[in-house]
Amino acid sequence: MSKVISLLLLGFIAWYWSYSQKLKQLALGVSIKRCNEAGVQFLDHSVVLHRIGFRKNTSNKWKMIREYRFEFTSTGEHRYIGRIILQGHHLVSTELEPYNLN
């Protein structure tokens, strides 16, 4: 019985890791696109999972959200923080920290 539970647990961990990697790739693509739209440079070609939590959606149901953060620059001198919030595979919001244009 403990072997079955161990296999199920191992299977769940593998599935969760794979699912998390897909969401991270989605957040990476959205981050790059958002930076291109804003005319800023996406840095380090990476996003970092900052927070996992729960939030009510438009149907007033609690759903899991993931907040990813990334860095960008507008002038090449300073780094700024951007964030992406995903609810499953759905984009909830993107935000860029206020940045200098010169």
Q: Does the structure show a pLDDT above 90 at 46? A: yes
Indicate yes or no: pTM above 0.75: yes
94: amino acid identity, one letter: T
CATH code of the domain containing 56? 3.10.450
The total domain count for the chain is: 1
45: amino acid identity, one letter: H
Beta strands in 3-47 (DSSP E): 41-42
For residue 50, the SS3 value is strand
Q: Does the structure show a pLDDT above 90 at 17? A: yes
The parent domain of residue 28 ranges over 2-96
Residue 72 covered by a domain: yes
Give 72-86 pLDDT, tens digit per residue. 999 988 999 999 999
Angle ∠(68,18,30) on CA atoms, nearest 5: 35
Residue 22 covered by a domain: yes
CB atoms within 10 A of CB 83: 19
